[in-house]
């Protein structure tokens, strides 16, 4: 097995994936081993740029994939420390959106205010209190 490095690969299917890559020479036929391949998408928003990272394949529980060399259009080693840091952070957390300047972005676990039941009760109380008060012209 060869040395591991981070790389972006463009497959003949048109997919662009980012992974920790190792090249294995098997009887003269190169096989590319991808560890934890992901798809990274740059999102430009009003408050900055973000990187959306998701798994390359959603269903498998495996983290190592083999691809034959003839299925790859191009492969480029990545030395960008930010991309590698985002990738590593994604592997350590679940479904993370990362802002390029390093700030943490909101996710579905942040900003939780109340349950539906509590919100309903609160709104009913506000409505009842406003009905009970006389209107002041």
Q: What is the pLDDT of residues 63-77, one digit of tens each?
A: 889 998 889 999 999
pLDDT number for residue 102 = 52
pLDDT number for residue 132 = 63
Residue 34's Cβ-count burial label (10 Å; 0-12, 13-18, 19+) is: buried
> Could you tell me which of 26, 38, 33, 23 has the C-alpha nearest to residue 67?
33
The model's pLDDT over 12-33, given as tens digits with 9 standing for 90+, comes to: 999 999 999 998 877 777 788 9
What domains, with CATH codes, occur in the chain? 5-108 (2.30.30.100)
pLDDT number for residue 37 = 93
The whole-number average pLDDT for the span 93-104 is 54
Residue 136 has pLDDT above 60, yes or no: no
């Amino acid at each position: 097995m060869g040395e591991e490095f981070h790389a972006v690969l463009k497959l003949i299917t048109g997919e662009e994936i980012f992974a920790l890559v190792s090249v294995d020479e098997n009887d003269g036929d190169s096989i590319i081993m991808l560890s934890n391949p992901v798809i990274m998408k740059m999102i430009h928003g009003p408050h900055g740029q973000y990187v959306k990272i998701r798994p390359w394949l959603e269903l498998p529980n495996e983290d190592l994939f083999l691809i034959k060399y003839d299925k790859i259009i191009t492969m480029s080693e990545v030395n960008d420390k930010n991309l590698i840091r985002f990738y590593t952070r994604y592997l350590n957390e679940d479904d993370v959106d990362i802002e390029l300047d390093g700030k943490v972005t909101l996710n579905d676990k942040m900003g939780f205010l109340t349950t539906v039941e509590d919100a309903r009760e609160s709104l009913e109380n506000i409505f009842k209190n406003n009905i009970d008060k006389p209107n002041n012209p």
